[in-house]
Chains A and B, each alone.
Chain A
Amino acid sequence: MTGPLGKDLLGLDELTADQIRLILDTAVPFKEISERQIKKVPTLRGMTIVNLFFEASTRTRVSFEFAEKRLSADTVNVASSGSSVSKGETLVDTARNLEAMRIDMVVIRHPASGAARFLAERIDSNVINAGDGTHEHPTQALLDLLTLRDRMGDLTGRRVCIVGDVLHSRVARSNIHGLQKLGAEVAVCGPRSLLPNAVSEMGVQVFDRIEAAIEWAEALNILRLQLERMQAGYIPSLREYNRVFGVTSARLEKASRDLLILHPGPMNRGVEIDSDVADGPHSVILHQVTNGVAVRMAVLYLLAGGRPDLADAAKGGRA
C-alpha cells in the first residue's frame, strides 16, 4: 500500500515540506482520540504491526504502541534481548522471517545508522524508523515540530537552537531537516567535540556559549547527554558540562518569557537541564510526549493509505 508519504517513513531528509505539513495537519484531529474516555477507533483494524526494538527504549516504544492500539492494530513487540537476534541472526533474516508471517508494518529501532532503510529495501511491509543509530529519528522530530507549531503557529523565520551532543544525535539530524524545510532558522550549541566537523555545511548557525544561544533562540531543544560520551572522552566530566552548557534557571533569567524548552527525554536532571527548568514555566516537555502519540497515529494512518482529508472522519472509524 502506498499513501501520500510513500511506502516508508525513514527520515525527514527525504520528505518534502508539504509531506511534513501533511503529517502535522493529520495529527491534529488524532489528538482528540487520546482525550476520550474510550481511546480507540477501528481505523487500522486487522492490520499487524511489529515493533522491532534492537535498542532499549521505553518512551518511543510505548508511544508507538499506544498509537497502534488506539487505531485498533494488532501489535507484537520484539526486543533484541530474548529474541533470535541475540543468537546472532542477521537483520536481513529477522526481516524475512517477520515478513513470512505476513505482517503489514514494522516499526524499527536499531543501533546502526541506515538500518531502517536496509530493512525497507528488503521487505514489502511499510517501515517506520523509530531511530537508527546516529542518523534519524523522524517521529521524534515530527512531534517536536507539532509542539512548536501548537505554540508558535507558522514556523517560518522562527529561531530554534538545538543544544548538546549534535554529533551523535539522530534527534538533532531529523530536527534540523524538518525545521529547515518548514522555514525556521536553526542553530546548534554545544562543545565542539560533540558537533560534527562538517557542521557549517549543515546550514546551521553555531553558538559556543549557551548564554548567547538563549538570547538568540525562541525555542531550545535540549538533547540528552549520554553517559557513554563522557566515558569515551568527548567531554571531561558531567559536572563541567552542566557548568558550561547546562540550561539552568539562572541562565534563563535573561530569556524572553515566551522561550520554549523542549527535551526529547529521558532527561539527565542536573546535567543538560536543571529540574526547575524542566518543571518550570518555559517547559513544553510533557506536551511533546502527548503529541508523540498523535503524530505516530498520523504516520501509521498515512502509511496505511489513509486519506488525509478523511483523518477527521477516521476518528469515528468511517475511513
Chain B
Amino acid sequence: MSRDLLLKGGRIVDPSQGLDAVGDVLLRDGRIEACGGTLGTPDGAEVVDCAGLVVAPGLIDVHVHLREPGREDVETIASGAHSAVAGGITAVCAMPNTRPVTDNQATVGFVKRQGEAAGYARVYPYGAISVGQKGETLAEMGEMVSAGAVAFSDDGYPVQSAQLMRTALEYARTFGVPVAEHCEDMSLAHGGSMNEGAVSARLGLKGIPGEAEEIYVIRDILLAKRTGGHIHLCHLSTKGSVELVRWGKERGIHVTAEVCSHHISLTDERVGNYDTNAKMNPPLRTAEDVEALQQGVADGTIDLLVTDHAPHHYDEKEREFADAPNGIVGLETALGVNCTWLLHRGIITLPQLVDAMSCKQARVFGLPGGTLRAGGIGDVTVFDPNARWTVDPRQFKSKGRNTPYGGVELTGQARVTVVGGRVVYRAV
C-alpha cells in the first residue's frame, strides 16, 4: 500500500468530464480517489502544491519508437519510458519496427514486461500488421491482442497491397483495435529525402511530394469505408491529407488521424544547409501545410498530437543528408512545442491541448486513462504552460540527441508526472 498523493490547488483541466476549475486531486492505491473541489489531506499523504500549474489526465503518445529489442544502443524501453515521463507523458504506444519485428505474441509480451519493469511511463505494444513488416502475410493479431497489443501498424513501411490492408482492417475489427498506417506511395517517394519544393530544388535533394502521402490517405479511408474497420492515419504532414480526413469524417467513416509536434511547428526551410536533425519521414513541409495541420487540430479533424519519437545514434545522423536515417526524438519537447505553437498562438485552448494529448488518445486507442474521474488509473500530468525553457539535448533522458529544437526557447513544461499514483518524475 503506497502513500496517498494529494495534488493541491492546481487548475484541473479534464475535458473528459468537462472540467476546468481550480481544485485538488487525490490518488490512492494507484487510482484516482477524488477529483475537484477542496479535499482534505488524508493522514500520511504526500502533498504536492500545484498552485499556478495545470493538473491534467496523464498525457499519452500513441506513436513512439523505443528501439528495444534490437537497438538497445540507441534507446531502451526503460530510457524511452524515462524520456516520456520527463516530458510529462505517462503512457506510450511502442511501434513494432524492432529487431526482431514485434509481429508475434512473444515479442509483444516482452515489450510489455520491459515497460512494467522500467516503472516509468506505461508502455503499450503495437503489433505488426504483416509478418516481418514485409507486407505479405497477416501477422497473428489475435494472439498479439491477448498478449497486450493495442493496435497494429507496419509503421515505416506502408502496406502496399490494398488487398492486405483491406484484410487487416476487417480482421482487426474482430478484436476492436485500430490499424495504423504510415501513408506513403513508395514508388512516388522513392529516393526522396525531404519535401519536394523550392528548398529541395535549391539543395539538389530528391523530393518527396505530398501526394505520396495523400494517395495512401484516400486509399485507406476508402478501405475503411468498405470494411467498417478503424483506420488510424499516422503522422499526417500535408494540407491535402487534412482535407481528405475531413472528407472521410463527414461521411461517417471510421478514420482517426494524428500529427507530430514537428509538423505543426517547422517547415522544410528548417533543413537549411542539410541539417540531418530536420530529416524525418514524412518530411517537414511548407508553411501552408503547417497552417492546415494546425487548423486540423483546432477543428478536430486531426484527433491526436503525437511525437513519432525516433532516437538515432549521433554517428548515424552525422553523415550525408540523403544517407542519414529519418526521425527525431520528441518525447521531452512535445508538450513545450505544442504549447508554444498551438496554445500560446491562440490556435487551440488549454482543454483542446489536453484533449488531443490525453483524453482522445485513450479514447481512440481504447486505452485506460485519459481522465481524472474517480476510479480511473492514477496517471496525472502536472505542467506549467507558461514556463520558459531552452532545449538542451544533453539533458535528455532519452539516449537520442537528434532534435531540431536544440537551443530553441519553448514555453510550457512538465512539472510533476504521476503514473499509477506514484510520482515518477519531478522537474528540478
Contact = CB atoms under 8 A, between A and B. Distances in A.
Interface string B202-245: 11111101000000000000000000000000000000000000
A112 B320 contact: yes
B196 A135 contact: no
Given A92-B318, A117-B273, A136 B201 contact: no
Contacts of B323: 112
Contacts of A90: 315, 318-319
A197 B207 contact: yes
A68 to B, nearest CB: 25
Interface residues of B, number: 21
A197 B323 CA distance: 23
Contacts of B318: 90, 92
Interface in A121-142: 132-136
A170 interface: yes
A6 to B, nearest CB: 14
B319 A117 contact: no
Max chain A CB contacts within 10 Å: which of B200, B203, B205, B315? B203
Given A112-B322, A198-B197, A135 B209 contact: no
B273 A198 contact: no
Contact of B204 (A91, A92, A133, A201): A133
Interface in B271-285: 273-274
Interface residues of A, number: 24
A196 B201 contact: yes
Interface string B173-210: 00000000000000000000000111011111111010
Contacts of B200: 196, 198
B203 A113 contact: yes
Contacts of A230: none
A200 to B, nearest CB: 9
A110 interface: yes
A215 interface: no
B193 to A, nearest CB: 9
Nearest to B271: A114
- Chain A, interface SS category: mixed
B321 interface: yes
B201 A114 contact: no
A23 to B, nearest CB: 21
A51 to B, nearest CB: 19
Contact of B209 (A92, A115, A197): A197
Interface string A192-204: 0000111101100
Contacts of A13: 202
Contacts of A199: 201
B198 A134 contact: no
A114 B321 contact: yes
Contacts of B202: 13, 173, 202
Contacts of A234: none
Given A134-B204, A135-B203, A135-B204, A113 B197 contact: no
A92 B198 CA distance: 28
Given A110-B320, A112-B320, A118 B207 contact: no
Nearest to A122: B318
- Which 6 residue pairs across A and B have the least CB separation, nearest first? A135-B204, A114-B274, A112-B320, A134-B204, A196-B201, A113-B204
Interface of A: 13, 90-92, 110, 112-115, 117-118, 132-136, 170, 173, 196-199, 201-202
Given A90-B318, A198-B196, 9 more contacts: A90-B319, A92-B319, A112-B320, A113-B203, A113-B274, A118-B321, A173-B204, A198-B200, A198-B201
Interface of B: 196-198, 200-207, 209, 273-274, 315, 318-323
